Structures are given as C-alpha cells and as structure tokens.
C-alpha cells in the first residue's frame, strides 16, 4: 500500500505540523476554531461604510495630528500589522478562498460524475487538498522568506476552515450557522444566540450537504427534552481532534506522493491521483461474478445481497495489531465514505480510468507550468495593507477538460 493511503488513517500528535518535505518550516500550533467569542451583530443591509468617501471622525482626528498619526502607526507595527508574515497571511487567505476552497463547486459535475466522488465533506476535502498542494508548489519558488510565510499561512487557513466545517458537520444545529460577509444573513433580534449566524472568513460550499439540525426548542414537549437532544448532538472534543489528525495525515500523504510524481514522471503522478483522489478503486482486482471476490459465507448463500468492497490500509494509525485483523472482512465493511470498488453492474467504468487519470495528470502539469510562468510580483501582490486580494483572480485554475 502507498504512503498516501497509510497516512490517511494515522493518528499522530494533535498539532498540525509543518510541511514534512520542508524541514525548515516551523511547526505551528494546533488550529483553533474562532467560535469562542459570541458572534457580533451584523449591520443592516445598507450601503457599505464610507460609501460617500467621508472618513470617520476618529480617522480624521488621527490624520490631522502628525504626532498622533506617527504614534498610531508605530503601535500598529509593534503589533505586527503590516509585517511580512501578516501580509502573507492575508494574501493567502484570498488565494485559499478563490483558488482552493471553492474549486469543488466550480466543476462539480466532473468531480461527482466522472471521478465518482460522493457529495460528502471527505470528497470536498480531497479536491481542496489537491489544489492546496498545487498552489503550494508555486509558493515554494518564492524568494525567502516569502515562500515559507505564504505556505504556512495557506496551511493555517486550510486547517482552520477544515476544523470549522468538521464541527458544523458533527454538531449540526448546535453551533452557529456559518455565513460569509453578506449582511442579508445577519441574525434578527429575535434569534437566539446559539442559532444565529456568525461571519466566517471562508466561503460556503454546495458540494456537500450538512446533516439536519435539531428542531427548534418550541417543537419539544419540554425544555428538558430539548436539552437532552442538544446534548446528544454535541460531538465529543476528542472526536473532532481525531478527525483533524486523520485529515492532517491525508494532507501530508497527498503532498508527498504528488511531489514524488512531479519529480519521477507522469506514471508516478497518475498512480498518486488514483490512490489519493480516486480512492484506489480496483486495487484488489475487478469483480466479474455475482458476488465479490472475497465474499463471506452469508453472502455466498444470499446472492441477492449487493456486493461491496473497498480499498483499505491496515498499516499503522488506528490499527495497532494488524495480524489480528481479517483483511477480507475489513474490505467488506462500509466505512460510510462513499468511495468503494465498482460493482459488477458498473465494471465498464474501469475502462475509462486510464483516460481519466491521464486527464487529471495533464491538468496538474498544465497548471504547474502556467503558475511557473507567472512572475513572483503577481503572486505576491501589491503587499499593501487593504490591497491583499488584488490580482488573485488572475491565478484562477483552468478547466480540467479545456
């Protein structure tokens, strides 16, 4: 089995570390979800602030006094505002939102129909992770220290967004609903705080659907019944941490396998795409009979039972005693990921797999070369506070099938 599949089920430390392939990248703290503070009340739908071009009285006061203005700028710089790391972090926020987080929604038919990815959070993570790696390849070529600053900021935003989404999936209706900077999504005065929306710096997606939230309190027979339902809906913190560790290993595994393919050639990259994006379907061969090639006795007796098999990796991670695991039984167990081998009635889908892998490899190579031709000045942007998002749309990916 490949390192990429091995990494997908490993449980390492709770810290989201630096990129394994770059020893100089400093480790960062475990991503923190910014949900501890209550959501601030959003402005009513109206014209944006300072639409008339008038400055606030405080801005006018500070700018009118040179000494006060110098003190303000000095204090801001002392706090890191406008520093190279801060500018890089704000720049890659725009890159992540436009180039990575929204990519699954941009060609949803290709990912779902041709790649057979189910509409789940795991599929969104896989597609986003692929494009985070693709962007990281270009950011590595930036001169020091910009390359490391931008890569670290991109990873920070990626995993903070992932943690927000994990909590929303595992605790539907308990945490505030996430919204973007759309004032029309602001909570009304009668909304309860825990059910109000909070502003997230990351975009929403329609690629996957969230579980149904618990009903409103007034639909329960008593407050105690609602409290009991709410308690059941809360996922333990250890479950969130466990998923974060697994996704961290998926990110590291995909990055290292794709880097290897980038160096070794198209065949190696196609194999990495098959393992990491396409779920390693058909790793144990293609089933041609009415039942799977590894049926249990009950399945042999009941030929009407649909066959099921998935590619698994039992080395390391959650499995400590590999010798005690029945591989055939584990492959026949549905892990609810939605990615498993095609049945006998879908065997014809394997015929197009070589062409599909070629399409993806050509797409990745084409985008790597396109980003390589873009000057560093365009990648870095103006590096001025308030203008960090300028020029990011010039970097948008082309179609997978042009």
Query: Given this model, what pLDDT does residue 102 score?
Result: 95
Collapsed DSSP state (helix, strand, coil) of residue 66: helix
**In the chain, what percentage of residues exceed pLDDT 90?**
41
Query: Given this model, what pLDDT does residue 79 score?
Result: 74
Query: Mind listing the pLDDT tens digit for each residue in 242-265?
Result: 999 999 999 999 999 999 999 999
Cα 97 versus chain centre, distance:
10
Collapsed DSSP state (helix, strand, coil) of residue 197: strand
DSSP string, 20-64: TT-TTSPP-PPP--TTSSPPPPPPPS-SPTTTTSPPPHHHHHHHH
* Least confident stretch, 189-198, 214-223, 273-282: 189-198
Query: Mind listing the pLDDT tens digit for each residue in 167-192?
Result: 888 887 666 667 655 433 333 333 33
Query: Mind listing the pLDDT tens digit for each residue in 54-110?
Result: 678 888 888 888 888 888 877 777 776 778 899 999 999 999 999 999 999 999 999
Query: Given this model, what pLDDT does residue 314 score?
Result: 57
pLDDT at 395 > cutoff 80: yes
How far is residue 184's CA from residue 360's CA, in Å, rounded to a whole number?
Answer: 39
Query: Given this model, what pLDDT does residue 324 score?
Result: 67
Strand pairing class (197-199; 177-179): parallel
pLDDT at 31 > cutoff 50: no
- Contact 150/142 with Cβ under 8 angstroms? yes
pLDDT tier for residue 197 given thresholds of 50, 70 and 90? low
pLDDT tier for residue 320 given thresholds of 50, 70 and 90? low
pLDDT tier for residue 25 given thresholds of 50, 70 and 90? very low
Query: Mind listing the pLDDT tens digit for each residue in 156-169?
Result: 999 999 999 998 88
Query: Given this model, what pLDDT does residue 329 score?
Result: 73
At 138, phi and psi to the nearest 5?
A: -75, -35
Mean predicted confidence (pLDDT) in 112-139: 95
* Least confident stretch, 28-32, 163-167, 195-199, 211-215: 28-32
Query: Given this model, what pLDDT does residue 49 score?
Result: 44
Nearest to 231 by CA among 220, 242, 243, 245: 220
Query: Given this model, what pLDDT does residue 35 score?
Result: 32
Residues in the chain: 402
342, two tokens: 């095609």
Between residues 303 and 365, the one the model is more confident about: 365
Q: What is the mean pLDDT of the chain?
A: 77
Between residues 19 and 362, the one the model is more confident about: 362
DSSP string, 93-118: HHHIIIIIITHHHHTHHIIIIIS---
Mean predicted confidence (pLDDT) in 325-349: 75
């Amino acid at each position: 089995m490949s390192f990429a599949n091995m990494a997908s089920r490993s449980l390492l430390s709770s810290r989201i570390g630096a990129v394994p392939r770059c020893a100089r990248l400093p480790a960062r703290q475990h991503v923190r979800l910014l949900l501890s503070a209550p959501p601030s009340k959003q402005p009513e739908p109206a014209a944006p602030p300072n639409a008339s071009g008038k400055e606030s009285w405080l801005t006018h006061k500070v700018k009118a006094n040179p000494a006060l203005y110098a003190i303000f700028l000095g204090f801001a710089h002392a706090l890191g505002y406008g520093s190279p790391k801060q500018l890089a972090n704000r720049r890659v926020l725009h890159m992540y939102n436009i180039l990575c987080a929204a990519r699954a929604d941009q060609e949803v038919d290709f990912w779902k129909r041709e790649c057979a990815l189910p509409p789940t959070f795991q599929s969104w993570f896989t597609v986003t992770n692929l494009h985070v790696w693709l962007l990281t390849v270009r950011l590595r070529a930036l001169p020091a220290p910009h390359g490391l600053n931008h890569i670290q900021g991109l990873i920070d935003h990626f995993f903070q967004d992932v943690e927000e989404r994990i909590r929303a999936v595992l605790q539907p209706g308990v945490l505030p609903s996430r919204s973007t900077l759309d004032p029309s999504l602001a909570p009304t005065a009668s909304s309860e705080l825990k059910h109000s929306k909070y502003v997230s710096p990351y975009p929403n997606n329609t690629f996957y659907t969230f579980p149904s939230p618990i009903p409103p309190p007034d639909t329960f027979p008593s407050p105690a019944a609602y409290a009991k339902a709410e308690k059941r809906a809360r996922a333990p913190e250890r479950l969130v941490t466990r998923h974060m560790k697994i996704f961290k290993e998926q990110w590291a595994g995909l990055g290292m396998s794709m880097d290897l393919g980038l160096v070794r050639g198209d065949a190696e990259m196609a194999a990495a795409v098959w393992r990491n994006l396409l779920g390693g379907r058909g790793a144990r061969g293609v089933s041609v009979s009415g039942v799977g090639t590894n049926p249990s006795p009950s399945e042999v007796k009941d030929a009407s039972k649909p066959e099921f098999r998935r590619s698994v990796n039992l080395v390391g991670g959650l499995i400590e005693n590999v010798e005690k695991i029945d591989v055939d039984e584990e492959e026949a167990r549905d892990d609810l990921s939605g990615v498993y081998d095609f049945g006998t009635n879908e065997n014809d889908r394997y015929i197009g797999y070589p062409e599909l892998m070629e399409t993806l490899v050509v797409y990745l190579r084409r985008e790597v070369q396109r980003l390589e031709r873009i000057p560093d000045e365009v990648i870095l942007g103006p590096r001025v506070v308030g203008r960090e998002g300028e020029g990011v749309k010039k970097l948008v990916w082309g179609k997978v099938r042009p």
